[in-house]
């Protein structure tokens, strides 16, 4: 049975919102991270990485100089190598469900992140996350992994996707569908 559920879709399709809604319906201990836009007025200037236990760092920003760069954003690998890798490693050992939002171009700049993602996929933990729609060699390997179910989300199927994923997670036996998410300490 597949136990790694990865949403994919166009930017703005609702991947992170769907993950947050699913987590709010689960009664289990979750750990991991999500990314969030940093805005200055109406302009997007970067991305923050936020763990479910409240740690955060600036993953990418227009003011970060040097390599690596994804478009106009400089990527701070220390955020991935430190905060993200640490929270995923601890969540894989101690949590019922691991959240990885997202496996995308900025995150994949970190070799250590790629390594820990593969460890998470090979473990027996349930995973809820998102993965870039754009293909790379690494994302193709993840999408073909025998434990992974990739679910394409868009505005027309969001509600059905939520129900489907909640049912699949329930079938893993790791989490019950309920009203609370106890993901405060990853």
Q: For the segment 19-75, what is each residue's pLDDT rounded down to a tens digit? A: 999 999 999 999 999 999 999 999 999 999 999 999 999 999 999 998 899 999 999
CB atoms inside a 10 Å sphere around CB 25: 18
Is the separation of the CB atoms in 80 and 49 below 8 Å? yes
Q: Is residue 167 part of a domain?
A: yes
Q: Which domain holds residue 85?
A: 4-34+78-172
Q: Is residue 16 part of a domain?
A: yes
Is the separation of the CB atoms in 7 and 19 below 8 Å? yes
Q: Is residue 41 part of a domain?
A: no
Number of compact structural domains in the chain: 1
Residues 6+ apart with CB under 8 A from 176: 26, 27, 28, 170
Q: Is residue 178 part of a domain?
A: no
Q: For the segment 100-157, what is each residue's pLDDT rounded down to a tens digit? A: 999 999 999 999 999 999 999 999 999 999 999 999 999 999 999 999 999 999 989 9
Burial class (CB in 10 A: 0-12, 13-18, 19+), 20: middle
HSE, side-chain direction, 13 A CA sphere, residue 30: 28
In this prediction, residue 178 carries a pLDDT of 74
Residue 154: give its domain's CATH number.
Answer: 3.40.50.300
């Amino acid at each position: 049975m597949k136990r790694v559920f990865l949403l994919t879709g166009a930017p703005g399709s609702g991947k992170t919102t769907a993950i947050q809604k699913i987590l709010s319906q689960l009664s289990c201990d979750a750990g991991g991270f999500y990314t969030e836009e940093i805005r200055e007025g109406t302009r997007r200037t970067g991305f923050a990485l936020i763990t479910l236990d409240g740690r955060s760092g600036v993953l990418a920003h227009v003011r970060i100089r040097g390599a690596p760069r994804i478009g106009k954003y400089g990527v701070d690998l220390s955020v991935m190598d430190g905060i993200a890798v640490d929270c995923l490693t601890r969540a894989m050992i101690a949590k019922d469900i691991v959240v990885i939002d997202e496996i995308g171009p900025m995150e994949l700049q970190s070799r250590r992140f790629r390594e820990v993602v593969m460890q998470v996929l090979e473990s027996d933990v349930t995973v809820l996350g998102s993965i870039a729609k754009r293909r790379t060699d690494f994302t193709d390997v993840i999408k073909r992994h025998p434990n992974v179910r990739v679910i394409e989300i868009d505005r027309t199927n969001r509600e059905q996707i939520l129900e489907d994923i909640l049912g699949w997670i329930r079938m893993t036996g790791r989490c019950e569908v309920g009203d609370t998410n106890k993901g405060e300490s990853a």
